[in-house]
Structure 1
C-alpha cells in the first residue's frame, strides 16, 4: 500500500465515521426531543409522562424481539410518521410527520419540507434500530 493510498483510506474512514456519528447523533437528538418524555431515555417505556398515559407505553428496545429478531424498519417509519393511517398506540402518539412538516414548510416549502420530514423520521427510526436488545 502506498503512502497516498493509505492517506486516502484513512481520510475515507474518517468521513464515514463522521457521517455515521452525525446520523446517530441526529437520531438520538430526535429521540430525546420527540420520544423520551413517554418512552424514557433508554426506550424502556418509563419516561416521566408514561404514568399519565391511558395506554401502556411500549418498550422500544424490544421491537426486534417482538418481530422474530428482525427490525421492521418500514413499519416503524410508518408508525412514527403517522400520516398514512398507521397509528401507534391508538391515538395517543403524536403524528410526527405532520408536526415535522408544519415546522419545516415555512422555510423549505412543501417539497423541501417533505425531505426534511423523511430525514428526521429516518434518523429516529435508525436510532430505534440501534437500541434494540
Structure 2
C-alpha cells in the first residue's frame, strides 16, 4: 500500500469516526429533548408542547433559531441558555430548571462526585441537546 493510499484510508477512518460521534451526540440530544424539553417546546420543537397552554409565557419555537439569527445557528447562545448561564427573561425567575445544575446533580454520583468527570458528562448532554436542536432547524 502506498503512502497516499494509507493517508486516504486514515482520513476516511477519521471522517467516519467524526460522523459516528456526531450521530451519537444527536441521538443523546434527542433523548434529552424528549425527556426534558418536549413537554413545553413540543415534540417538533415549535413551542406547543402539552404544558405550553398552562405557561404564562409561550415557549420558544426552537425550529427558527437559525432563521432568527441571520441563518446561522447560535450555538454559544443555545449552550448558555440550556446550562443556565444566559438568563432568558421570558422564563422569569429561575424557577425553570437550569439544566446545567440539574444534570450536575443527576450525574455527579455516577462520576464518583469528581468535578471534572461530572462537568464532562454534563457538557456532553448539553452539547448533544444543542446538536439535536441544530437538526430541527427549518
- What TM-score bracket applies, with the shorter chain setting the length? 0.7 to 0.9
1:114 maps onto 2:119 in alignment = yes
Runs of 4 or more, structure 1, over 6 Å off, are 6-10
Tell me the matched-pair count.
131
Q: Name the residue aligned to 1:35.
A: 37
Which consecutive residues of structure 1, in runs of 5 or more, have no partner in the other structure?
A: none
Which moved further from structure 2: 58-67 or 87-96? 87-96
Which consecutive residues of structure 2, in runs of 5 or more, have no partner in the other structure?
A: none
User: Which of 1 and 2 has higher RCO (CA within 8 Å, sep 6+)?
Assistant: 2
Aligned-residue Cα RMSD (Å) equals: 2.2
Q: Name the residue aligned to 2:60.
A: 58
The C-alpha deviation readout for 1:72-101, integer Å capped at 9, x for no partner, is: 11111111001x352362235310000000
The C-alpha deviation readout for 1:33-84, integer Å capped at 9, x for no partner, is: 11001001110011111111111111000111111111111111111001x3
Work out the CA distance in 2 between the residues paired with 1:13 and 1:68.
29
1:74 maps onto 2:76 in alignment = yes
